[in-house]
Amino acid sequence: MTGARYLARFLNEKGVRQVFDYPGNSLLSIYPALREAGIAHRTARSESGAIFAASGVSRSGAGIGVCFATSGPGATNLVTGLADAMLDSVPLIAFTGQVSTSVIGQDAFQEADLLGITLPITKHNFLVKDGAALPTVLEEAWRIAQSGRPGPVLVDLPQNVLSSEIPEGAASPRLPHKRDPGNLAFDKQKDAFFDLLSRAKRPLLLVGGGCKSASASVRNAVSKLNLPAVCTLMGKGVLSDNDRACYGLVGIHGNGTANELLRSCDTLLAVGCRFSDRTIPNVDLLRGKCVLHVDTDAAELNKRVLCALGAAASAEEFFTELSAAPLAPFAPSWAPEKENSPAGAPDFCLKRALNDLANAFPDAIFVTDVGTHQVLAANAIRSDSPYDFLSSGGLGAMGFGLGAAIGAALSRPDRRVVLITGEGGLQMNLGELASIREFSLQNLSIVLCDNHALGLVEELNRLQKHPAICQNRQDPDFDKLFSAFSIVCARAKDAKTFSCALSDLARGKAQALHLILSPDESAYPQNAPEERL
C-alpha cells in the first residue's frame, strides 16, 4: 500500500469524513486515495481558507479538523492558520506536500523548510523522510493534537514518501515518555487549594478555553458553590451566558460588570486560562488578591501572573474534585445583577443590531472575524455551549471568519451557522464565498458589518491621535459582489431597513445581510471609561 493510501485509510479509521485542501503537484497522489477511502476533499480558494475551515471543524466540536496544502507557497499559506490554532489551543492536523527527499535542501521548485517555519507555531511537527515511519508519525500526530493542551500538528510529506510502499504492520506508536498531566501533583495540593478557596469572601471564577471540554463539571461546581464567574473569549459558553452566575467576558473587551467583579474580588480562581494581555492588560490589577491558577499546561503557571497556588491539572479533574470537596457554598452572591441591554445605544448601530441578531438566531453557531464586530458580538451573543461561538482570540487573525464558518457549516449540517464579519476581514479571504454555492451551504448566513473603515484599527489610531489611515479606502460594491457569488443579500442602513433585512435573513429569503454602519462606533463595550481595565 502506498503512503498516500495508508494516510487516507488512517484518516478514515479515525472518523474523518472530509478534509479541506488546495491541490498542487506534490499532493496529487492523495486525491485518488481519499476517494477510495470515502473522504470528501473540500477545495478552498486558498490554503488559508482551508486551514481556517479545518479550525472551524475543531472549534465547533465536530472532531479534529484536517487540511492539506501542497509544498512551498501552498504550505506557507498555512502559517497564519497554524499560529491562530496554536494560540487558541485548537486541535487540528495540517498535511503539507514536500519535494522528494532526494532533493530536500537543494532549493528545488516549490521547496520550503516547513519544519523550520512552523516549529514555533505548532504543538509539534514532523517531516516524514521514510515511508516506514509514516504509520507511527500519523498515530503520534493524532495523539499529540488532542492530548493535554490541544494544538495544531503539521506533517510534512515528501512526494516520494506518499508514493512509497508502506510495510504491513509498520505502526508502532511510541509510548509517550511523559504522562499527560494527571491529578498526581494536584492530589498533594488540593487540601491547600481548597483551604485557600474556602477563606474567600469575594471569590470569582475565571473560566478560560481550557474548560471547554469540562463544561458540565464547571456548571455543576459553580451551581453547587454559588460561585460567580467571568470568562475569557475562549471560555465563552463553558457556562451558559443565560446562567445568572455567569457575568460574561472580562478584560479589555469585557463588559463593565465583569471587569468590576475582577477588580473587587479577593480570590480569583482561574482555570484553563493563560492570563493573556487582552484578559489582564495589567498584572498589577491582581496584586493583593489570592490568585489560584489551574491549567493542564504547567508552563502557564506563573508565566504572566504569579499565583498563590498553581496546579497542573485538567479542568475536568479539577472541577470534579472541587464539586466533591467539603466546601460550603459561598454566601449569596456578592456580585451585582447582570445587565444585558445595550442601554443608551442609538436605534441603529452595531451593538443593537447584534442584540437583535442574537434574538433572531437563538440556536445558531456564531462565527466572527476580527475587529469591532468581534468584540461587540462576544458581548452581545448569548452562548449556551463552548462550541457555539467561534472566534480568533489569541492571534486575532483577520480573514478567519469565512473559512471557519464554512468548516463549521459543513461539519455541523444540523445547525444554523451565522458568520458575523467586517468588510476588512471578509476581503482577506473573499474567494471563499465561492464555496458557499459549491458546497450548497444553505445553513450558513452572513452578516457583513460594513463601517467603511478598518474600524477597530482606526479607533486605536484615533486614540493615539494619528490622522486616519483608511479614509481613501475604496471597497467593492458588496451587494453586487454577493450577487456575483450567487448569494442573495439584504441591505440595511437604518432601523427600519434593518428590521426587514433581518427578517429576510432569519426566514432564509436572504443569505447575507449587509449592514451599513457608522465608522465611529466604538469597539469598547463598556459604557463608561472607568469600567475598562
- Residue list 55-114, contact with another protein (CB under 8 A): none
Residue 347 Cα distances to 342, 351, 360, 493, 506, angstroms: 10, 10, 17, 11, 20
As a whole number of angstroms, the distance between CA 360 and CA 431 comes to: 28
303 binds another protein (CB under 8 A): yes
Instruction: Count other C-beta atoms under 10 Å from residue 236's C-beta.
Output: 28
The stretch among 84-92, 294-302, 422-430, 443-451 that binds another protein (CB under 8 A) is: 294-302
- CA atoms within a 13 Å half-sphere pointing along the CA-CB vector of 270: 29
Which one of 32, 120, 336, 476 is in contact with another protein (CB under 8 A)? Answer: 120
Which one of 13, 35, 119, 442 is in contact with another protein (CB under 8 A)? Answer: 119
The stretch among 82-90, 300-308, 371-379, 462-470 that binds another protein (CB under 8 A) is: 300-308
Residue 243 Cα distances to 187, 220, 473, angstroms: 30, 12, 43
As a whole number of angstroms, the distance between CA 379 and CA 523 comes to: 11
Which one of 139, 243, 266, 297 is in contact with another protein (CB under 8 A)? Answer: 297
Shortest separation between residue 144's beta carbon and another protein, angstroms: 6
Instruction: Count other C-beta atoms under 10 Å from residue 298's C-beta.
Output: 16
Beta carbon nearer to another protein, 302 or 471: 302
Which one of 124, 338, 415, 452 is in contact with another protein (CB under 8 A)? Answer: 124
Which one of 216, 283, 299, 324 is in contact with another protein (CB under 8 A)? Answer: 299
Total residues at interface with another protein (CB under 8 A): 18
Beta carbon nearer to another protein, 89 or 421: 89
The stretch among 296-304, 326-334, 337-345, 432-440 that binds another protein (CB under 8 A) is: 296-304
Shortest separation between residue 297's beta carbon and another protein, angstroms: 7
Shortest separation between residue 85's beta carbon and another protein, angstroms: 16
Which one of 103, 104, 115, 308 is in contact with another protein (CB under 8 A)? Answer: 115
Specify which residues 311 forms β-bridges with: 294
Beta carbon nearer to another protein, 303 or 338: 303
- Residue list 415-454, contact with another protein (CB under 8 A): none
Instruction: Count other C-beta atoms under 10 Å from residue 141's C-beta.
Output: 22
Pairing between strand 246-249 and 229-231?
A: parallel
Q: What is the 3-class SS of 183-249, one letter each residue?
A: CHHHHHHHHHHHHHHHCCCCEEEEECHHHHHHHHHHHHHHHHHCCCEEECCCCECCECCCCCCEEEE
Shortest separation between residue 302's beta carbon and another protein, angstroms: 6
3-class secondary structure, 292 = strand
Which one of 1, 103, 108, 301 is in contact with another protein (CB under 8 A)? Answer: 301
Angle at 310 between CA 309 and CA 311, to 5 degrees: 130
As a whole number of angstroms, the distance between CA 363 and CA 332 comes to: 31
Which one of 104, 298, 308, 457 is in contact with another protein (CB under 8 A)? Answer: 298
Comparing CA positions, the residue from 366, 377, 371, 360 lying closest to residue 498 is 360
283 binds another protein (CB under 8 A): no
Shortest separation between residue 370's beta carbon and another protein, angstroms: 23
Which one of 7, 50, 53, 144 is in contact with another protein (CB under 8 A)? Answer: 144
Interaction pattern, residues 18-37, with another protein; x per rule: CB under 8 A:
--------------------
Beta carbon nearer to another protein, 128 or 315: 128
As a whole number of angstroms, the distance between CA 208 and CA 105 comes to: 42
As a whole number of angstroms, the distance between CA 156 and CA 95 comes to: 6
The stretch among 38-46, 215-223, 250-258, 293-301 that binds another protein (CB under 8 A) is: 293-301
Q: What is the 3-class SS of 352-413, one letter each residue?
A: HHHHHHHHHCCCCEEEECCCHHHHHHHHHCCCCCCCCEECCCCCCCCCHHHHHHHHHHHHCC
Beta carbon nearer to another protein, 303 or 452: 303
Q: Are 428 and 398 in contact (CB under 8 A)?
A: yes
Comparing CA positions, the residue from 158, 159, 66, 80 lying closest to residue 117 is 80
Which one of 50, 54, 127, 512 is in contact with another protein (CB under 8 A)? Answer: 127
- Residue list 214-253, contact with another protein (CB under 8 A): none
Shortest separation between residue 326's beta carbon and another protein, angstroms: 31
The stretch among 78-86, 239-247, 250-258, 298-306 that binds another protein (CB under 8 A) is: 298-306
Which one of 116, 167, 173, 346 is in contact with another protein (CB under 8 A)? Answer: 116
172 binds another protein (CB under 8 A): no
Place of cell 467576558: 249
308 binds another protein (CB under 8 A): no
Shortest separation between residue 188's beta carbon and another protein, angstroms: 17
302 binds another protein (CB under 8 A): yes
Beta carbon nearer to another protein, 177 or 480: 177
Which one of 177, 179, 480, 507 is in contact with another protein (CB under 8 A)? Answer: 177
Chain centroid to Cα 257, Å, comes to: 24
Beta carbon nearer to another protein, 116 or 167: 116
Q: What are phi and psi of 29, to 5 degrees?
A: -70, -15
Q: Are 208 and 232 in contact (CB under 8 A)?
A: yes
- Interface residues with another protein (CB under 8 A) are 115-116, 119-120, 124, 127, 129, 140, 144, 177-178, 297-299, 301-303, 306
